[in-house]
Structure 1
Amino acid sequence: MVDTSSLIAAFILGIVEGLTEFLPVSSTGHLIIAGELLNFNDVRGKVFMIVIQLGAILAVIWEFRAKLLTVMNGFVRREPAAWHFVRNLLVAFLPAVALGLIFHHWIKTYLFNPYTVAVALIGGGVVILWVEKRIFHPRIENIEDISWQDALRVGFAQSVAMFPGISRSGATIMGGMIFGLNRRVATEFSFFLAIPTMFGAVSLDLYKNWQLLSAEDLPIFAVGFIAAFFSAYLAVAGLLKFISNHTFIGFAWYRIVFGLVVLGTALGGAVR
């Protein structure tokens, strides 16, 4: 019998995952803090954090379902635009695959702690401020105009986010803007790139931890999964509207403040 407190914790963590996964604020840092405060940081909690990411990914698929269906149909019909789009995603995905396979164990073993996450949060915030203060002249105004070279550059930018606390979406969006994508194209490409990247990462983690899965935990996982899906959907839709008239400077200052909070709670012993 699953206790009510575990279901409440799962619901809260699902919301935290969904709201932070696709914003440039680092879901890892937020889940570390929330998991510790809710005492949901045991072995079961670690597997739970992996599973609820699937809910967040499905939210992106649902938001862009029309575009994805068009690409799928075009790919089957061998339409050049669809093949161009799929090729770019695969090219951008490759750096994360290669570097992830090499450094996955080392990163999980040595970098998942509040101190490195805090440094990454603050450093990432400074980078966003730097990018937003520079004057860029975007040369790519539509996602269809991204070349495979542009995609590869964004893919390497995404790889930086293997360092916990950097934020995958933050790295790809800022990288995209630096490499010539306009703000909306960089954001949309980041969302599309999240689909294969997160599916790959989650599949690898589940494969390594499948023995920890238990049917008794199904209600907890289901609550977190559903909460992550709906909150991620709101976050993705909200961000696409937000960037039409705003910069990412607010997220930068939030990261810096939150990074200091993470550092303070770690030094104070509240977070291990």
Structure 2
Amino acid sequence: MNTFPLGKRNVHRVGFGAMQLPGRGAFGPPRDRAEALAVVRRAVELGVDHIDTAQYYGPDVANEILRSALYPYPSQLVFVSKVGARRDGKGAWLPAQKPEELRAGVLDNLRALGVDRLHAVNLRLHSKSAPKALDAQLDTMIAMRDEGLIGGIGLSNADTEQLRQALGRTEIVCVQNPFNIVDQQSRPVLDLCLERGIAFVPFFPLGAAFGRERVLGHPWVTAVAQRLGATPAQVALAWILAVAPNTLLIPGTASLGHLEENVAAGRLVLDEEARVALGLPGAA
């Protein structure tokens, strides 16, 4: 399957994450603005139709680059953003979970991107929210969807209990959780999403900044990459696509070379030997 529904739109399963467009740690201006703009434009040329972003990437940097590179936007392009966080002057990640902060976050995204509506917005959960607090947050997200500001509601950093609570209140179109070949703690959430037909969008598919070597240096990954003539990153991304049909990739980069490599991972075929080596479901 080359596509999967993200709300009411089918999107290609390899998208693009805007988190690395700003400076180091998603903070401050880009290292090379011209290349950041070129990366975004090339992603769309390569068929990417799903871009994940957030106003607090920078802050205010990723969305400005996206708008500068792509506006007026191609009709097929889907923007998914997230709210529930903010940055301080040193780049620390802080919660912004109050209903008024969630609304302000959506409005900021709309203004920065120059659009009237976001295809979907993820509610980023920072900790184990009390059920009443999550209900209040969902009320705000539902109200914004009813107003037409957002097309669908997603969750980020959610466990199965939180996802079930949200599903009891409203439709959920996607869930973003950390997930890769060495960190599969979100497998129960992925399974629930698959059962309900919800897109599961792993972040840190190649590992977080301090965990990339665990993924890219994993002996199964490196062995398969060498045999198939691929890079370890391509194998790790192809593994996520092969785990379940509802996974969508949003690998981020500010490098044209890495962008080409990431998109090509969507065309990498993991044969039966590779599937067995990587422990994929259905392998002999």
Q: Which has the higher contact order (CA 8 A, sep 6+)?
A: 1
* Bigger proportion of residues as helix: 1
* Bigger proportion of residues as strand: 2
Same fold (TM over 0.5): no
Q: What TM-score do the two structures reach when normalised by structure 2?
A: 0.27
